[in-house]
C-alpha cells in the first residue's frame, strides 16, 4: 500500500533551499519515491489554513518511506534544512488499490 510524505514549507534562504531540494530529490528517487506535488499555487477553498508551498511524495509503502527518512542519503539534505526552510512534515498511509 503506498504511503505519502506531505510537507508544508516556508523557504528561509533560496540558495540553501535549492541545495536541500536537489539532495532531497536524489535521496527520494533512490528509495523509490516520486513527487506528486512539488510546489505550485495553493488555493484555500475552506478554512483558515494558508500553507506555503506543498510537497507530496509517494513511496511504495510506509516502511520504505521510513527507511528514506532515516537514511544517510537524506541526512545530506538535512544538513542544510534549517538554513533552507522551516516546515511541517507528516507521513501517512495511503489506500489499497
- Full DSSP string of 4-68: EEEEEEEES-HHHHHHHHHHHHHHHHHTT-EEEEES------SSS---SSEEEEEESSHHHHHHH
DSSP state of 53: S
Q: Is residue 96 part of a domain?
A: no
Q: Is residue 75 part of a domain?
A: yes
Domain extent at residue 13: 3-42+51-85
The CATH number assigned to the domain holding 81 equals: 3.30.70.100
Sign of CA pseudo-dihedral 39, 73, 66, 30? positive
Q: Is residue 80 part of a domain?
A: yes
Record the pTM. Answer: 0.91
Q: Is residue 90 part of a domain?
A: no
Per the structure, the count of domains in the chain is: 1
Q: Is residue 94 part of a domain?
A: no
pLDDT tens per residue, the chain (97 residues)? 999 999 999 999 999 999 999 999 999 999 999 999 998 889 999 999 989 889 999 999 999 999 999 999 999 999 999 999 999 999 999 998 7
Amino acid at each position: 500500500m503506498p504511503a505519502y510524505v506531505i510537507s508544508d514549507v516556508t523557504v528561509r534562504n533560496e540558495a540553501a533551499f535549492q541545495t536541500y531540494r536537489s539532495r532531497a530529490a536524489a535521496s527520494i528517487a533512490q528509495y523509490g519515491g516520486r513527487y506528486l506535488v512539488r510546489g505550485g499555487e495553493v488555493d484555500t477553498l475552506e478554512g483558515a489554513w494558508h500553507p506555503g508551498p506543498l510537497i507530496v511524495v509517494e513511496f511504495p509503502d510506509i516502511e520504505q518511506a521510513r527507511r528514506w527518512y532515516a537514511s544517510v542519503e537524506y541526512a545530506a539534505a538535512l544538513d542544510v534544512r534549517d538554513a533552507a526552510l522551516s516546515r511541517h512534515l507528516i507521513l501517512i498511509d495511503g489506500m489499497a488499490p
